[in-house]
Amino acid sequence: MTDARRPRTLQVEIKSLRRAAYFFLAPALLPIFLFFFVPALAAFLLSFTDFDIYALGNFQYVRFVGLKNYFQLLQDPLFWKATANTFYYVLVGGPLAIAASLGTALLLHSRVIRFKGFFRTVYFAPVVTTLVAVAVVWRFLYHPRFGLLNYVLGFFGIDPIDWLGDPNWAMPAIILMSMWKNFGYNMIIFIAGLQSIPEQLYEAARMDGANAWQQFTSITLPLLMPTTVFVSIIAMIGNFQLFTEPYVMTQGGPVNSTLSLVLLMYQQGFRWWNLGYSAAIAFVLFGIILAGSLLQTWLQKRREA
């Protein structure tokens, strides 16, 4: 009899514990629900309506249009242009930025470098600088006639490049700037990852006669894998949401060569006030990011298996 009763008291206990847990979680969950899930749900519903400037003036002028916004999106050349640009930024800019942060992290972690604290601070400084201020400075650097970058290229006999005015160069210019601005953040995470690798492993490797490259590929890289996956997922999510850089530097131009999905969403939503259409873009982007994250975790699992 006692045996039969014991699980029940345990259950009751768990139940009351759970209730207590929810009680303590409520102050965090409630705002998340109110300020995140409710607006996200509202935006999702919005994407099935034709909410626009007329509806803003009079709420009776909203119509439910089903999937029309999504179908229209598929036929919109600007949407495809923005999608291509965004993928360009993610697939080229993302790996480059991660390579840069890993490289500097390795340098700052190595024994040969002095004044590590100083360099760490210097490399991290752009991350905490306001992007708008950074953009103003970089626009000077990129100036076709007076910019430092073209001045330096001139030494190598390279003709001046109109960095932000030429459709072929505008996106590389944006990538370069945002790389410089953001690599410090991932660098810090990589340094933390490197510091958590036990020193004994390297000692053992050296005893076995492994050279520096072998140590790097057999110890550092595999043990850094979880950090790399984390960094690349976070970076990918961030990169898909490219907005401020083109908004401040180029406004999406020239000839839409730096128009990103979020910038298109912003223009549709707040320039033309087509909020329904803009919400549809947001959910397509959500789908893309979700698929990207799932793909990356799946690849990681397969590698482990």
Partner 1 sequence: MGAEGESVQRLMPEFHRRHPEIEVKIQSIPWTAAHEKLLTAYAGNSLPDMCQLGNTWIPEFALLAALENLNGWLDSSTTVKPEHYFPGIWDTNVLEGAAFGIPWYVDTRLLFYRKDILQRAGYAHAPRTWQEWLEVSRRIKQLPGGENNYAILLPTNEWAPFVITGLQAGSRLLRDGNRYGDFSGAAFTRAFEFLMQFYRDKLAPVGITQVTNIYQGMAEGFFAMYLTGPWNIGEFRKRMPADLQDDWMTAPLPGPDEHTPGVSLAGGSSLVMFKSSRHKPQVWKLIAYLSEARQQLEFYRITGDLPAVRAAWQDTSLANNLHVQAFYRQLEYVVPTPKIPEWEQIAMKVQQYAEIASLQRRPLTEVLAALDRDIDLILEKRRWLLELKSHD
Q: Which residues make up the interface to partner 1 (CB under 8 A)?
A: 50, 52-54, 56-57, 61, 63, 72, 144, 162, 165-167, 251, 253-255, 270-273
- Nearer to partner 1 by Cβ, of 254 and 292: the residue is 254
Query: In whole angstroms, what is the distance from residue 213 CA to residue 35 CA?
Result: 49
167-195 and 131-141 are packed helices; what angle lies between their axes, rounded to 10 degrees? Answer: 130
- Nearer to partner 1 by Cβ, of 31 and 167: the residue is 167
| Contact yes or no for 49/65 (Cβ under 8 A) | yes
Tell the smallest beta-carbon distance from residue 116 to partner 1 (Å). Answer: 42
- Nearer to partner 1 by Cβ, of 143 and 181: the residue is 143
- Nearer to partner 1 by Cβ, of 97 and 249: the residue is 249
Amino acid identity of residue 46, one-letter, is L
Query: In whole angstroms, what is the distance from residue 197 CA to residue 296 CA?
Result: 23
- Nearer to partner 1 by Cβ, of 171 and 187: the residue is 171
Tell the smallest beta-carbon distance from residue 247 to partner 1 (Å). Answer: 9
Contacts made by residues 246-255, CB under 8 angstroms, sequence distance 24+: 246/174, 248/131, 248/132, 248/135, 249/135, 249/138, 249/139, 249/164, 249/173, 249/174, 249/177, 250/164, 250/170, 250/174, 253/170, 254/164, 254/165, 254/166, 254/167, 254/170, 255/167
Tell the smallest beta-carbon distance from residue 86 to partner 1 (Å). Answer: 20
Listed in sequence order, the residues at least 6 apart from 119 whose beta carbon sits closer than 8 Å to its beta carbon are 108, 113
Tell the smallest beta-carbon distance from residue 85 to partner 1 (Å). Answer: 16
Query: In whole angstroms, what is the distance from residue 63 CA to residue 50 CA?
Result: 6
Tell the smallest beta-carbon distance from residue 152 to partner 1 (Å). Answer: 20
Q: Which of these, 186, 190, 191, 174, lies nearest to 92 by C-alpha position?
A: 174
Tell the smallest beta-carbon distance from residue 134 to partner 1 (Å). Answer: 18
- Nearer to partner 1 by Cβ, of 193 and 269: the residue is 269
